[in-house]
Structure 1
């Protein structure tokens, strides 16, 4: 069986979210749909093989609440090496991300950082590729 996994995240201001993800992470917009000119209801962004979909949040929808330095869910972006992780941390920090965990190595060997984007969604970026043998 062949499978792939993408993540979608709901944003109150999807236009601003897409702009920020392009600036902060370097994503490229590959598809975008808006019911009206100048709006985004759904967008698809790619960075290498990673795909994230941004959708307009309905009233009451938003990020998972932060508790003890984390939220209950986060997209995980896997990069090639520690140098790439460190460079991206500098980039997202300069774009205004709030740091939850500065770059460091986990007990399972993942060099990673975790940040909150401007709407409070957690992002985890590391050198470990989930699903691969340790």
Structure 2
């Protein structure tokens, strides 16, 4: 099967107090792929984490005086996945704060929600959204 879906052109972004720690958490616990990380020492100027099913996020260290100023811990994201039961189990094993247990929704998704070490909210589920009108 050939997927003709264009690559994502919307990239959620966030800032982190410990960007390198957040990168490790997202890669190790949920399976994001570390595509690129620019920076020195503890400071991450720019990082791109790709999601295996497509898309991803961009993040960097919280730094005063930048024009792209976002308060760490205020981000929220929904991530489409094929394996919510496995991801939920990995999150629990890692001691992640589960804020909504694994459940089936009335709109056909199986999902759960967590809070990452920075305080950001993540929801993982099988719901892929509604098809666009043609």
TM-score, with length taken from structure 1:
0.79
Instruction: Note if contact 2:33-2:51 (Cα within 8 Å) is conserved in structure 1.
Output: yes
State the Cα distance separating 1:128 from its structure 2 match. 0.3
Give the aligned length: 121
Q: 1:33 aligns with which of 24, 33, 38?
A: 38
Q: In structure 1, what is the Cα distance between the partners aligned to 2:56 and 2:116?
A: 17
1:81-120 to 2 correspondences below 5 Å: 84-120=83-119
State the Cα distance separating 1:79 from its structure 2 match. 1.4
State the Cα distance separating 1:26 from its structure 2 match. 1.2
* 1:75 aligned onto 2:46: no
State the Cα distance separating 1:5 from its structure 2 match. 2.0
Structure 2 residue runs without a partner (length 5+): 1-5, 65-69
CA RMSD of aligned residues (A): 2.2
> Secondary structure, in 3 states, of the residue corresponding to 2:84?
helix
TM-score, with length taken from structure 2:
0.79
State the Cα distance separating 1:43 from its structure 2 match. 0.6
> Secondary structure, in 3 states, of the residue corresponding to 1:128?
coil
Q: In structure 2, what is the Cα distance between the partners aligned to 1:43 and 1:100?
A: 26
C-alpha spacing 1:108/1:28, structure 2 compared with 1 (3 Å): same
Cα deviation digits, residues 50-96 of structure 1 (max 9, x gap): 311121123582223xxxxxxxx52111013xxx1100111122222
Q: In the alignment, what sits opposite 2:131?
A: 132
Structure 1 residue runs without a partner (length 5+): 65-72
> Secondary structure, in 3 states, of the residue corresponding to 2:76?
coil
Structure 1 consecutive aligned stretches of length 4 or more whose deviation exceeds 4 Å: none
